[in-house]
């Protein structure tokens, strides 16, 4: 009996300290997937950024030579950063102006089904981005579809659009419009119609309803679309290579060159790490400093 008492189970209070929460058990597959698919590659890139230049001594060396080469005054890589961020900001600003009326019209026309209709704008993503951009090359190229159509209509020709900075911006607007439009449509679809009707019955004007009800309630979807578009546009490469030729070199092209032709993985990793820090830092700063009351003119 004495032996049995010694081997008796521990008190329930002691056993509860070692019990894994049910929520953690349920989320463990997602946590493992994120660690392997996101954190592990990011840590590997960060480790390569501090490796010896033009080597593969990852996790075996530590140097700041790659970052020193980037900040060297003779290096023009910061122009690539500037071009990428400028295109990203311009894409977000223009798509916000372009996509909002479209999303609003879809919401007014299809009501609660506007989110489903917005999915139709995602269908072009099923076709390779490069294939769609080369289609625009055929459209804008000299003696292509645009110039040929203008000549057929009796005009002398068309403007030389291809391989210009403007062509790059057009390509980015075309490629990333679904990423702005779909979240914006979902945000507008979440606005209760009864709330808008009640405000109208109480004498609120159209502008007041938009400023006080529709825009604040749709703002989460708008912000998600803006953030998603900015992150994707900052790392864009296909548009500048296919539609822009060598007129503008973005940072993604410099990273690709470092990893491929130059075979300088540490330098490419350093550039990629700086891009991640800049984009994530700007996104977090904007989200932390965003004051919707000030933006909407309310005190």
Residue 235: exposure state from Cβ atoms within 10 A (0-12, 13-18, ≥19): middle
Q: For the stretch 161-188, what's the b/e string if a residue is b when 16 or more beta carbons lie within 10 angstroms of its beta carbon?
A: bbbbeebbbbbbbbbbbbbbbbbbbbbb
CB-CB neighbours of 246 under 10 Å: 9
- 214 vs 165: CA distance, rounded Å: 35
Give 65-127 as a DSSP string: HHHHHHS-TT--HHHHHHHHHHHHHHHHHHHHHHHHHHHHHHHHHHGGGHHHHHHGGGGGGGS
Question: What are the residue ranges spanned by the domains of the chain?
Answer: 76-295
- Note the pLDDT tens digit of each residue in 211-221: 888 888 888 88
DSSP, collapsed to helix, strand or coil, labels residue 243 as: coil
Instruction: Summarize the confidence of residues 128-132 as an average pLDDT.
Output: 89
Give the confidence band of 17 by pLDDT, cuts at 50, 70, 90: low
Nearest to 233 by CA among 289, 145, 298, 168: 168
- Note the pLDDT tens digit of each residue in 149-172: 888 887 776 677 888 899 999 999
Residue 247: exposure state from Cβ atoms within 10 A (0-12, 13-18, ≥19): middle
Topology (CATH) of 76-295: MetI-like fold (1.10.3720)
The set of long-range contacts for 140-147, using a CB threshold of 8 Å and a minimum separation of 24, is 140/167, 140/243
Q: How far is C-alpha 121 from the chain's CA centre?
A: 17
Give the pLDDT score at 211.
83
> Higher confidence at residue 17 or residue 192?
192
Give the pLDDT score at 11.
54
Give the pLDDT score at 18.
56
Considering the chain, what is the average pLDDT of its residues?
83
Instruction: Summarize the confidence of residues 197-203 as an average pLDDT.
Output: 85
């Amino acid at each position: 009996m004495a032996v049995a008492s010694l081997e008796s189970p521990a008190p329930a209070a002691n056993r509860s300290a070692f019990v894994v929460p049910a929520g953690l058990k349920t989320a463990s597959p997602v946590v493992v997937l994120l660690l392997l698919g996101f954190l592990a590659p990011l840590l590997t890139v960060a480790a390569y950024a501090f490796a010896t230049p033009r080597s593969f001594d990852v996790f075996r060396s530590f140097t700041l030579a790659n970052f020193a080469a980037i900040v060297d005054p003779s290096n023009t890589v910061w122009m690539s950063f500037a071009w990428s961020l400028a295109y990203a900001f311009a894409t977000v600003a223009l798509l916000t102006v372009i996509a909002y009326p479209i999303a609003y019209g879809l919401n007014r026309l299809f009501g609660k089904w506007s989110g489903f209709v917005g999915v139709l704008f995602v269908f072009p993503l099923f076709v390779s981005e490069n294939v769609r951009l080369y289609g625009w090359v055929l459209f804008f190229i000299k003696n292509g579809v645009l110039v040929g159509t203008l000549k057929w209509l009796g005009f002398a020709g068309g403007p030389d659009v291809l391989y210009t900075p403007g062509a790059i911006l057009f390509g980015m607007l075309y490629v990333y419009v679904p990423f702005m439009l779909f979240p914006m449509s979902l945000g507008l679809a979440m606005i209760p119609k009864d709330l808008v009707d009640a405000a109208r019955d109480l004498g609120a004007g159209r502008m007041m309803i938009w400023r006080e009800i529709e825009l604040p309630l749709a703002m989460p979807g708008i912000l998600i679309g803006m953030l998603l578009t900015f992150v994707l546009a900052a790392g864009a490469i296909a548009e500048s290579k296919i539609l822009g030729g060598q007129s503008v070199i973005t940072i993604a092209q410099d990273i690709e060159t470092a990893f491929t032709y130059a075979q300088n993985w540490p330098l490419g990793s350093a550039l990629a790490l700086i891009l991640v820090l800049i984009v994530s830092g700007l996104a977090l700063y904007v989200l932390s400093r965003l004051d919707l009351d000030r933006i909407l003119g309310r005190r």
